[in-house]
Chain A
Amino acid sequence: MKKEVTINVNGTSYTEEVEPRLLLVHFIRENLELTGTHIGCDTSHCGACTILLNGDSVKSCTIFTVQADGAEIATVEGMMQDGKYHPLQEAFKEYHGLQCGFCTPGMLMRAIDFLKHNPDPTEEEIRWGISSNLCRCTGYNNIVIAIEKAAEKMREVEVETVA
């Protein structure tokens, strides 16, 4: 039996009838055609599907769409504000924090949540902070640096974020 859900994604509200078993990641990717959120493992280990659900990073492959009814969701597509990159996006590019780009959206969403709790992290804290997300290309060095640098910038200027 289908259920009606209303979900706000990146500031736009969507109301749809969905099968209860529809995974949130499929709702985002297929119903809303926001394909920046990826699927990498199906078992909540890789973090490619990470989004912000009411501000918290979560793995959208392990959430049913119906559970998110009434929620506010942010995906990578909502990161830019007024045509400008979020400091994290900027830093990922500047410090070569990505290669194939597949884990990047999830990594960015995770980093937003992480920095919210810890705006001035150590390298070690960043490593634990992104341990929810696997990257197979970068060896993490440059992701860690990018997050450090973005944090620096975000401490200096108030950033309007999707969260």
Chain B
Amino acid sequence: MIPASFDYHRASTLQEAFTFAQEYGEDAKYLAGGHSLIPMMKLRFSEPAHIIDISRIQGLKYIKEEDGILKIGALTTEADLEFSDLCHDKYPILVDVSKLIGDPSVRNKATVGGNLAHGDAANDHPAVMLALKANIVAEGPNGTHNIPVDEFFKGFFETALEQHDILIEIQIPATKAGNGGAYNKIERKVGDYATSGVAVNLTVDTSDTVVDIGIGLTNVNPVPMRVSRAEEALKGNKLTQELIEKAGKIAGEDCSPTADLRGSEDYKRSITKELTIRTINKAWERAKASL
């Protein structure tokens, strides 16, 4: 498998990347880790005439808390998340998800920004960021803008990024007492896309009442989706297994999976329900532990 020829441009600053992007327009593609784009190019499904390598742009690789916000630079690799002490201590959901993306070697190269910017509902970070109610920071030739994650996934393989935009940072409200998150997915084998994946970020008070909740789903909808109705069912209520079961049921109903080699639509709905129940419980366990 050999990709078609292209011209290569390495940007050392965002500005330089925009200049290349504006010059080559539709014929250009940004390349960060490359683990979504390069396989497509090797299959010659994608034959961009110009590749703009943004992986060397300085200052886009970090995981830090600042002003009550967890900030993740877009060029942070999945492995960076997996081995981040900060994530281990305070954001286990990010460790959960990074450990389930691709495989260990893929995670050394694949970036969080790339995973999101690809706009593929089968990728794992979209669901997690929906659950975490993240804010996506994009920068383009005309400056920086914030995109709430709910507005980011506009459609099928389509994000709110403007043509020359580069996703530069993901912002997540910093974790606090009573907050716990978890991600899990069912996959046919290691490295596969999720048959279904569920991300839950939950905040409870000392009486187990849900103060805040985010639930996102992977690969059971054409577009990464939040299960709003399940969130509404839980929010403000005291958590019980019955309620969690109800939330799971809603997740199974509200997703819109497509049958493929992984299984039928019914199967995916059913396991989404079960996975939602289990993941809420896991998040709850963590939330209680943080109180």
Contact = CB atoms under 8 A, between A and B. Distances in A.
A117 B83 contact: yes
Contact of A62 (B34, B55, B99, B191): B34
B191 A132 contact: yes
A57 B108 CA distance: 7
Contacts of A133: 105
Contacts of A47: 103, 105
Interface in A113-163: 113-114, 117, 128-133
A131 B190 contact: yes
A110 interface: yes
A44 B51 contact: no
B7 A20 contact: yes
B106 A44 contact: yes
A68 to B, nearest CB: 11
Contact of A45 (B8, B42, B191): B191
A96 interface: no
Contacts of B109: 53, 56, 58-59, 62-63
A93 interface: no
A131 B3 contact: no
A62 B36 CA distance: 10
Contacts of A23: 2-3, 42
B263 interface: no
Contacts of A63: 34, 38, 109
B55 A67 contact: yes
Interface in B99-122: 99, 102-106, 108-109
Interface string A27-58: 00000000000000011110100100100111
Contact of A56 (B38, B42, B108): B108
Interface residues of B, number: 31
A7 interface: no
Q: Which of B7, B35, B38, B105: most chain A Cβ within 10 A?
A: B105
Contact of B34 (A67, A69, A132): A67
B182 to A, nearest CB: 18
B42 A57 contact: no
A17 interface: no
A43 B51 contact: no
A43 B43 CA distance: 9
Interface in B1-50: 1-8, 10, 31, 34-35, 38-39, 41-42
Contacts of A53: 108-109
A76 interface: no
A44 B79 contact: no
A64 B8 contact: yes
A50 B106 CA distance: 10
Contacts of A131: 103-104, 190-191
Q: Which of B2, B39, B109: most chain A Cβ within 10 A?
A: B109
Interface in A73-131: 110, 113-114, 117, 128-131
A57 B38 contact: no
14 contacts: A1-B8, A20-B5, A21-B4, A21-B6, A23-B2, A43-B42, A53-B108, A59-B109, A64-B8, A66-B53, A110-B105, A113-B105, A129-B104, A132-B103
Interface of A: 1, 3, 19-21, 23, 42-45, 47, 50, 53, 56-59, 62-64, 66-67, 69, 110, 113-114, 117, 128-133
Closest 9 CB pairs of A and B: A20-B8, A132-B103, A56-B108, A132-B105, A131-B190, A42-B1, A57-B105, A132-B104, A62-B38
